[in-house]
Amino acid sequence: MITIGAPRLAGMNPDYLAHALSMFKDGTRLSVVMQPVAQRLSDDDMHALATYFSAQRPPLAPAPHAPSANTISAGKRLAESGVASRMDDAQIEASAAYFSVTKP
């Protein structure tokens, strides 16, 4: 069953998921749904949930139509390199860098 408006947690990075839960718990990430849930979780609970959801392998979500080759190419460039914003010369970071979890 797919719930509209709910994120697909299956297969996501466990460190990202645990960190998101800790942010809901301490109030630095806001959600009227998730904050009350996270308030009741211990650190061990958050890591266990993150590990469980990261190990799930969901089927691909159905697409209304196949993306064009140009769209695929543009998405790949954005994910790998980011892009300079046209409005204020700010750099939009590559999503690959944003979602990877590295330890210095």
Sequential pLDDT tens for the chain (104 residues): 555 677 889 999 999 999 999 999 999 998 898 999 999 999 999 999 999 999 999 887 777 888 899 988 888 887 777 765 565 555 666 665 555 555 44
pTM over 0.85: no
In a domain, 36, yes or no: yes
Amino acid 21 reads: L
**The tokens of 91 are what?**
């750099």
Say how far apart CA 76 and CA 83 lie, in whole Å. 11
Instruction: Tell me, yes or no, whether 90 lies in a domain.
Output: yes
Q: Which domain holds residue 19?
A: 14-55
Classify residue 9: in a domain, yes or no.
no
Compute the distance between CA of residue 81 and CA of residue 91 in angstroms, rounded to an integer: 10
Number of domains in the chain: 2
Alpha-carbon radius of gyration of the chain? 17
